Homo-oligomer: A and B are copies of this chain.
């Protein structure tokens, strides 16, 4: 399998883009990524577009041809990749395989979601399609409700307290202040979080990632193309994995772990030939605070039941043991679902390029991005390494 490199990244600000259409978001992100890559647009051979709900929300499928058309490169191979909120990570994985195979030398992985002006559907109804329609959604369950079950199970099993878990949201907002692309650039205190409205007991409003619109893009290429681009910092995809788990919580043995994370991580660490202690920068999929805590454990940074201690003890801060979500994470950077996996890669690569400004991890060399679909039905893990 040949090596694959990240040649460029680009993203739009995440917010309610009422005046910008889905196709425009895609094109804006792609233009930035291509400019960043030093590779000419016409050299892009294929596009893989992560998106969950364009059909339900915008009445628009066939994003591959739509993107190729509006980008001015009709002819390229292009398709949409969907794996619920892990659509971005799954699209990146397919893009990775395309270059690794040797068939394509230069491809673009994109993620896009437009949630604020839904033409043809309802956002809450769209999101629950990530779980089982016939056995879960049909009962009236919502995504925050399912995660509340996980939250309760975790507190019961490990005796953890909400004030410790909820700190994850405080953390994310603190760092988003310095991220120009973030949706919510303001700090919140723990008190703010715990006093915010109850959404699904015990989850509070400020423990939930917001809905928003955005698109992000990554240009991937072969070694030969990378040489030609001659970027200052060279970044290699050290691992790209994708794993599933049983779709719904009611069929699982344990609500307090995501086995898809454990599986994808095991493969990814092996592929990159590293262990968790080699990771300098971490991006985890904290759609809800409890998930952030669980991910730290499932990824091997804390023992089961002790992920919250890393947060409480400042170990996920800049300068801590495992700097996490330093650009704001899902909670504060934002979570346009199908785009999130690519935003995480954008944030991880920004750190490796040394372009994270006030949030920069000194001399970051290895970054890991974890993207989750549904309540862990799919997990994508991508590891990046700065080439010395």
Identify the A interface with B (CB < 8 A).
1, 21, 46, 52-53, 55-56, 58-66, 68-69, 74-84, 87, 90, 93-94, 97-98, 100-103, 119, 125-126, 129-134, 137, 241-248, 251, 259-260, 263, 373-374, 377-378
Contact = CB atoms under 8 A, between A and B. Distances in A.
A81 B83 contact: no
Most buried by B among A55, A60, A246: A55
Nearest to A125: B59
Contacts of A132: 60, 66
A239 B259 CA distance: 36
Given A75-B263, A93-B77, A101-B101, A62 B242 contact: no
Nearest to A65: B377
Nearest to A252: B74
Most buried by B among A52, A76, A79, A241: A79
Copies per assembly: 2
A94 B47 CA distance: 12
Given A66-B377, A79-B83, 10 more contacts: A61-B84, A62-B82, A64-B82, A64-B83, A65-B246, A65-B378, A74-B245, A75-B259, A77-B242, A78-B378
Main secondary structure of the interface of A (DSSP, over half): mixed
Contact of A66 (B69, B77, B247): B247
B69 A78 contact: no
A63 B130 CA distance: 8
Given A94-B97, A247-B65, A373-B62, A129 B55 contact: yes
B129 A74 contact: no
A21 B133 CA distance: 11
A384 to B, nearest CB: 17
Contacts of A246: 65, 69, 74
A373 to B, nearest CB: 6
A121 to B, nearest CB: 8
A53 B62 contact: no
